[in-house]
Structure 1
């Protein structure tokens, strides 16, 4: 079961990588040199449909910062309930904080009981968001979805 789940996760991640490589203004990406960090809390559930909500703070190396709301929706072969406290994210290839807001493509595999963990790389055009976090809950499966960051 776990081997099958990890195989499906690899396929999902490969598809997400192909979507990220879609042409979207390579000249603009070369100029985007601001890096932003996200600290977040998130809780959610999944049973074929995945839903989670949370909040966080974004701080950029150009001095900009903002409080944000986070929403995750999607679907796949998933089941569970979880929360992540003090998760961290690194957002790269942006011109400023305004480029951070919007929808990111999410694909991942989750596995955990009691202590739950996640590591994911998401994309929005040429912008990438690397997330990591630990928490508690039970979750198992493979999912594809949307990770949205919006102003608080």
Structure 2
């Protein structure tokens, strides 16, 4: 019975795709954007960080951005990231970059440290990497928000 229902669901999804209002193009969500940023923050059960950066897409679109992280967990510390890098994939335009991303972290660092994170917002993926300074220890779940600066 479950196999039959799964088969019907697959068939229904395939049919819906054939009759969609707009034809799907392979390159619709294949634009890549890159972000450079600086960020500083702290955590003591609650986690907060703020920063700024620039997003540049391969199609020439560019925007200055503000970054905010807010969350909670079992964490403590104070840190900063200088010259961080982010690769954003599965976007159609630069507008897809802005918004809230889900983020989960496990951190342990003293003085100089390096890290990397993968964040998601629907189908959009953001891979972050950077080096920084400070002290941080713990685990947390946070929201990572990117907004356009006008």
TM-score by length of 1: 0.80
- Indicate the residue corresponding to 2:53 in structure 1: 56
Flag the structure with more relative contact order, 1 or 2, with Cα contacts below 8 A and sequence separation at least 6.
1
Shift of 1:108: 1.2
Please point out which of 87, 100, 103 is paired with 2:100. 103
Larger relative helix fraction: 1
Gaps (5+ residues) in structure 2?
1-16
In the comparison of the two structures, how many residue pairs are matched? 127
Aligned pairs for 1:2-151 (under 5 A) are 31-151=28-148
3-state SS in 1 of match to 2:95: helix
RMSD: 1.8
Runs of at least 5 residues in structure 1 that lack an aligned partner in the other structure: 1-25
- Give secondary structure in 2 for the equivalent of 1:133: strand
Q: Greater Rg, structure 1 or structure 2? A: 2
The question of whether the paired residues in 2 share the 8 Å contact of 1:89 and 1:129 is answered with: yes
Distance in 2, matches of 1:87 and 1:103, equals 18
Alpha-carbon deviations, 1:29-52, whole Å to 9, x = none?
Answer: 963010000000000000000000
